[in-house]
């Protein structure tokens, strides 16, 4: 990271570190270690071979619906855990979905926020093409539903291998969304008044495009799920848990087994003796939410502890 960190407390107060310490799930990338050297901070994550953007870019043929279903099921399972533990990501996009041997993990929690944190939130979040309308309309009171909009945009992109809303600016992004979904009921967006006056453009005449025409290779179930996820109204979007119950997933879904853990990590998890503290600057506590992942930021096992466990 570019900024300087002079104390470990600063490192531990980073939102990304807090989130990754709490979120321990097979479909969320694992933070292995945090290193502070010369007041610079380095994150060490588990190794993943690709991101979904790279895979789509190199794809020579359309994904099968089974492949798409597997990717989406894994992403949604990660989001169920994330949202259920009080976080939303705010920057979901193909580059932040890491893949190794068809196993997918959500990464990059630099913009993650706690669901119960007090709004207003930051206006500028997420990459433009996957940004929910309420964020584009400068609302600072959004919810985890912004993640679900991004899920819908990513699902559509897996069928087309190109972004469904490729806006070149925030205003053009709204226009691209209107071209696909049609104009919304602007009264549902009180924030839209100011931005409409600012750009002096009315989108009220734009009619929606049939999603089946955009994605002819998608099943009716897939099209229906995308239309629900990419709803103008955030209250109409399904949660991650509800999305997994959609008929699109009502078939046998192949979800790869989690990658094998590092042998050292397994050994540490099974250690009976407490590892030696190298930096005893804070107390992680003993709450159920605390996971060993957070402990690795401050603890390194001694050689004697490892030998005693052999």
C-alpha 173/C-alpha 164 separation (Å) is 10
Q: How far apart are CA 110 and CA 108, in angstroms?
A: 6
Reference 83, options 255, 239, 278; nearest CA is 239
262 is catalytic: no
- For the chain, helix, strand, coil in percent to 5 are 45, 10, 50
Given the residues 91, 108, 172, 283, select the one marked as catalytic.
Answer: 91
Cβ neighbours around 79 below 10 Å, total: 28
Q: Which residues of 250-280 are buried (b: 16+ CB within 10 A; e: fewer)?
A: eeeeebeeeeeeeeeeeebeeeeeebeeeee
Contact (CB, 8 A) for 105 and 97:
yes
What is the distance between the alpha carbons of residues 134 and 97, in angstroms, rounded to a whole number? 23
Q: Classify 97 as helix, strand or coil.
A: strand
Tokens 């103008």: give the residue.
Answer: 232
Contacts within 8 Å (CB) and 24+ apart, 253-256: 253/69, 253/70, 253/73, 254/66, 254/70, 255/70, 255/73, 255/74, 255/77, 256/70, 256/101, 256/102, 256/103
DSSP code of 150?
A: H
Residues in the chain: 310
Residues annotated as catalytic are: 91
């Amino acid at each position: 990271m570019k900024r300087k960190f002079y104390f470990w407390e600063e490192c531990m107060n980073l939102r990304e570190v807090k989130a990754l310490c709490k979120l321990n799930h097979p479909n969320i990338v694992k933070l292995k270690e945090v290193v502070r050297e010369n007041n610079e901070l380095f994150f060490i994550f588990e190794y993943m071979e690709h991101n979904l953007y790279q895979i789509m870019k190199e794809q020579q043929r359309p994904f099968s619906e089974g492949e798409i279903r597997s990717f989406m099921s894994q992403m949604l399972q990660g989001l169920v855990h994330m949202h259920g533990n009080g976080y939303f990501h705010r920057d979901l996009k193909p580059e932040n979905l890491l893949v190794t041997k068809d196993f997918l993990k959500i990464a990059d929690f630099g913009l993650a926020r706690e669901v119960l944190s007090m709004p207003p939130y930051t206006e500028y979040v997420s990459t433009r093409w996957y940004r929910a309308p309420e964020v584009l309309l400068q609302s600072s009171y959004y919810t985890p539903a912004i993640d679900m909009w991004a899920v819908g945009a990513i699902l559509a992109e897996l069928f087309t291998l190109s972004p469904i809303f490729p806006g070149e600016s925030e205003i053009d992004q709204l226009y691209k969304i209107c071209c696909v979904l049609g104009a919304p009921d602007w009264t549902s967006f009180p924030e839209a008044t100011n931005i409409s006056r600012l750009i002096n453009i009315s989108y009220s005449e734009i009619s929606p495009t049939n999603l089946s025409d955009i994605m002819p290779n998608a099943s009716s179930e897939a099209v229906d799920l995308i239309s629900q996820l990419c709803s103008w109204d955030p209250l109409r979007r399904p949660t991650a848990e509800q999305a997994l119950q959609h008929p699109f997933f009502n078939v046998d879904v192949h979800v790869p087994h989690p990658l094998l853990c590092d042998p050292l990590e397994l050994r540490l998890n099974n250690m009976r003796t407490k590892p030696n503290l190298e930096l005893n600057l804070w107390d992680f506590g003993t709450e159920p939410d605390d996971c060993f992942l957070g402990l690795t930021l401050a603890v390194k096992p001694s050689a004697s502890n490892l030998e005693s466990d052999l």
